[in-house]
Structure 1
Amino acid sequence: MAQQYELEHPPSDGISRIKFHPTNDTRLLVSSWDQRVRLYDVKTNQLIASHHGHAAAVLDIAFGNTTSFSGGLDRRLISWEENFTTERELGRHEGEISALEYVPSHSILLSGSWDRTMRAWDERATQPMVSKVNLDERVYSMSAEGNLAVVALAGRKFIVFDVRNLETPLEERESSLKYPTRCVKLMPSGQGYVCGSVEGRVAVEYLQDVKDKQHYAFKCHRQTTDEGIDLVYPVNSVAFHPVHHTFVTGGSDAIVALWDPENKKRLRQYQKYPTGISSLDFNASGNILAIASSYTYDEGEKSHPPDSVWIKPVTDQETRPKSKK
């Protein structure tokens, strides 16, 4: 089994998001608080491109069919041609852009913002913004899969949409977790979603029309000190394995854990990384896990290890669910 390794030429400030290309197993997009978007080839460990198109921190990114997208604190939504040779401003939000999700089956980009809107964009159109949905609260996180999108809002709210009809939400619900949401990810099956909170808990939630599944939640990313004090860390990222539909979580405790949602078991916990985990993603084949180890300022300004991106080869046996006894 190949050893994990660190990408060369990492961002110089906090890493906000890492995302693999939907079909190219070796292309990884990385956004950072240093105002740059970077494209890496993880197989050759090369920085292919680095572009400074934003005037403030970049909070999220997405791969399109032939382009990529970025948005952040400067409120601008930018479309990049391949390898960042050309940029185009698709539009702007009235508040910071906090989440981006591309829906390949419909060739639209969804953007969520602290201005309490979600917008849909078609970069092929003369007027790219094709829909605007007003929301009750700021968008914290977002995920799309097939025809579905789930939006996590401030105030512990979730809204599920069919992207073919954004005017009418399919579901609106309150989180089963008592503390603010950090991340949300739709299941590859579309039956539900997994969310993580700032209080070291994960919830597995199923949609209303899924009758044979029960919601559940569990504690994770916690440590007990020698004095018996329970240290609780935020869960910052969730990523599903594209083949086996197990999932990983990354927390501010610098730990990555792999879970089996069907059997409600932790499959493994990987060794500790230099600092907290800000973002995770599997490549399309499911044989590589990318891990952003980057301090997320949960404890305010303090000295911390350099920000880094780790490429971890994973095996089929390692990531598959365990059969029930």
Structure 2
Amino acid sequence: MPISVEISERTICELLQRFKSELTFQAQDHNERDSNQRIDTVQDPGSAGGSGGGDANPSARLELERLAVEKLKLELELKNASVRELELRYQLNQQARQAQPLPERNERTLPEKPTEMPAAEWIDMCRTTAAEVASLNGSARLLLHDLLKEVRSKVPDSAKWATSVTEKYPPGAQFSFSDLSAVFDEFLETFDPKAKRKQANQQSWSTVAKRARVATAATDTANRGGPASASGRPPRSGSVWVPPKEVFDAAQNDPSGASDTRNPLKRGEFLTNLEKLNWMLQSKCFRCAEVGHKASKCPTKKGTQAPAQPA
């Protein structure tokens, strides 16, 4: 497989010049040695034979030298051919780069415009799509059947729910994967304890928020100088707290609070933190069960007696 090699023109010229100079040097060296040998042969024809170690056949030696020169010429031609091959590869690479320029970085290729579809082909495509949808709906119904079967066998008290789902989606009705997802969500909400607990928490928090809004509205009404709140909650800022009517009447009729069944201290019960908070919100002391001060400012805590209630 050919390998694409990119070589500049300067490199190619340098290679050619080097090969030519090498060939010229070798040819000059060969000619000089040949002329020297001929001069020696003419001056002393018997030196080669008299020495006993020279070449006995000068023509054979000349033939070998001629073959060596031919060999050098062939090697040079081979090198020139290699250089020409590199030149051709370089030209081909340049032509290919000019014919197929690289796309710009920000260039966006627009999609081809859709061709008009024949009516018959469009109808066939619609029929194929409808068949695929029908097969998917059939798969969804099979999954629903498997789901109801698993629910009936493994989940207690689920027969009624499975029957209702079967009645909701009868065999002849259309059923898709979205319906299957809705059935699965309904199953989780009905039988999953975590889902039940989450729903209960949401309901409880909504109830707490509703009560807090009602209590806040009542407190704001009391702070604005309107009627006191039903729970007897004291105002948030510097207004004088007015106790509820039933608390005020009970304090007038029974100053000792012995008949107040709402006071857990009179029943000898242990107060929880929530009950303490409730009494504190009503500004009723949970130490002496008196109205008008809190436990932190109760006189009995300091060893003094509580002030007498007005008759």
TM-score bin, normalised by smaller chain: under 0.3
Higher radius of gyration, 1 or 2: 2
Which gives a bigger RCO, structure 1 or 2 (Cα 8 Å, sep 6+)? 1
| Structure richer in strand, relative to its length | 1
Higher helix share: 2
